[in-house]
Amino acid sequence: MANVAVVGAQWGDEGKGKIVDWLSNRADVVVRFQGGHNAGHTLVVGEKVYKLSLLPSGVVQGKLSVIGNGVVVDPWALLDEIGRITAQGVAIGPDLLVLADNACLILPLHRDLDAAREAQAGVAKIGTTGRGIGPAYEDKVGRRAIRVADLADPAALEAKIERLLAHHQALRRGLNIPEADGAELLTALTDIASKILPYARPAWRLLDEVRRSGKRVLFEGAQGALLDVDHGTYPFVTSSNTVAGQAAAGSGLGPRSVGYVLGIVKAYTTRVGGGPFPTELFDADGERLGERGHEFGTVTGRPRRCGWFDAVLARQSKAINGIDGMALTKLDVLDGFETLKVCVGYKVGDRVLDYLPAGMADQAAATPVYETLEGWSESTFGARSWKDLPAAAVKYVRRVEELTGAPVALLSTSPERDDTILMRDPFEG
């Protein structure tokens, strides 16, 4: 039996929340390994809708859930989310939720810096969520971050704040932001420490015990591979590694423990914020995809840009993540289209490429080379069996498999947890 890492294979918003929630039934532990509360997962369970940002999706199933060291954590946002989900009937305590004691914190000054930079960037802004994730990761690699464990040591915390502010005050002066109040920050962190520390543990040690006992671990990624700080459409990316390789580093388990990599892809393509998007549609088809797919960001509420399925990018994601199988989501959104298009290459000047180039100019200039497929008029909404799908829908799924080189292990036909067709159980390897 394998552990499973779930990663987005596009620009995020692929429906990872539902898939992770569905797989949680088969797992013993669920681990978030990167990102922050800029990521949003929506779970639909019966009549209830859960919107998660920091909490691993396993909490809704009552599975032991771990926020790993690769995540940057806003402690106030975390407590707010715990309170909100508890109010929906899911009791969350230290017996259910573990927070890595070596995870770095997002502070109010990070949010200030994020907002000020975007405001001053003008047309060059990259479309961050403004929640301080990027600046928090900067402080992490700059070795000046405040970590969860620091909350237990008030004397050391004061010294660390002083070191942190030595860097931030200069930035704030340059951006015309009032200097941060160190005493106020120390008081705020001291006040919240007693509420956060009960969840704090050496997560790597817990996960090593889980591994040695033979239990199943589900690694939950945030955002998508095309937002990876190394492999995404730089600089229109997030500030962390979103690919499957980060599951090991961001949780404290060795790479051999990651196991099966499940890449989540929509049956079409969406993106929130700025950056290149070769298959983006600006016509009635694009509007129809957005309306039928309810394409609004879980965290930001911003409308998502919509376009046809991009097999080139999905194939590229397969390579950089080591994807073993795909979960294809929102197939039902394509119901009723007479014809469908799939991108099979890019034209850049006089060249035709089978990958997305790294250069910004080439990315912006890339225009899709399409293959046209037959659509279907029948409904796939809520289908739970392969035989319930129209023949043209089956052909579409098979063509996606051929073009990406990855088999479809799971097929999702609605936001509901049980409207899922299992072709291959990822936990069986």
- Residues 21, 37, 41, 310: which is the catalytic one? 41
Query: What angle do helix axes 108-121 and 182-196 make, rounded to 10 degrees?
Result: 120
Q: Is the pLDDT of residue 398 over 90?
A: yes
- Confirm if 202 and 241 have CB atoms less than 8 A apart: no
Average pLDDT over residues 199-213: 96
Whether pTM > 0.85 for this model: the answer is yes
DSSP string, 68-123: -TTBEE-HHHHHHHHHHHHHTT----TTTEEEETTPEEP-HHHHHHHHHHHHHHGG
Q: Is the pLDDT of residue 391 over 90?
A: yes
- Residues 13, 112, 139, 419: which is the catalytic one? 13
pLDDT of residue 193: 97
Give the SS3 label for residue 343.
Answer: strand
- The verdict on whether 231 is a catalytic residue reads no
Q: Is the pLDDT of residue 130 over 80?
A: no
pLDDT band at 356 (very low <50, low <70, confident <90, very high): very high
Q: Is the pLDDT of residue 106 over 90?
A: yes
Give the SS3 label for residue 208.
Answer: helix
Mean pLDDT (the chain, rounded): 93
pLDDT of residue 63: 93
Q: Is the pLDDT of residue 44 over 80?
A: no
What tens digit of pLDDT does each residue of 29-38 get? 999 999 999 7
- Confirm if 180 and 165 have CB atoms less than 8 A apart: yes
What tens digit of pLDDT does each residue of 142-192 get? 999 999 999 999 889 999 999 999 999 999 999 999 999 999 999 999 999
What tens digit of pLDDT does each residue of 317-339 get? 999 999 999 999 999 999 999 99
- The verdict on whether 13 is a catalytic residue reads yes
Q: Is the pLDDT of residue 70 over 70?
A: yes
